[in-house]
Amino acid sequence: MSSMKDREEGFERKFVFDEELRFKASARRNRALGLWAAEKLGKTGADAEAYAKEVVVSDIEEAGDHDVFRKIRKDFDAAGVNQSDHQIRRTMDELMAQAIEQIKNS
């Protein structure tokens, strides 16, 4: 009986760890994405940092990445930045992989 309880607790700990990793990686990815987008928008220095923070905050609107993507897409469209949806999503995926790797290695 205690063996099952130990396994259950182990699965719960792994779930909590995985969710924490996903949260940290998403925040890190969103910041990097914000800096990438800021560069495309012609923002530098403090303006770029402020924009990156806006991107991080935009992720709390709904579950998933759709809110972040919509913000970047809207801002690019408003500024006339020529980036396809595919390019934005590919960058999001690449930056997420980098963020996960950085967190695992830290």
Looking up residue 41, the CATH number of its domain turns out to be 1.10.790.20
State which residues form the domain around 76.
Answer: 4-105
Q: Give the whole-angstrom CA distance, residue 89 versus residue 65.
A: 9
Contact 52, 34 (CB under 8 A): yes
Q: What is the pTM of this model?
A: 0.83
> Does residue 15 register a pLDDT over 80?
no
Number of domains observed in the structure of the chain: 1
Looking from the CA of 87 toward its CB, the CA atoms found within 13 Å total 10
The 10s digit of each residue's pLDDT in 33-90 is 999 999 999 999 999 999 999 999 998 877 788 999 999 999 999 999 999 999 999 9
What CA–CA distance (Å, rounded) separates 54 from 9? 37
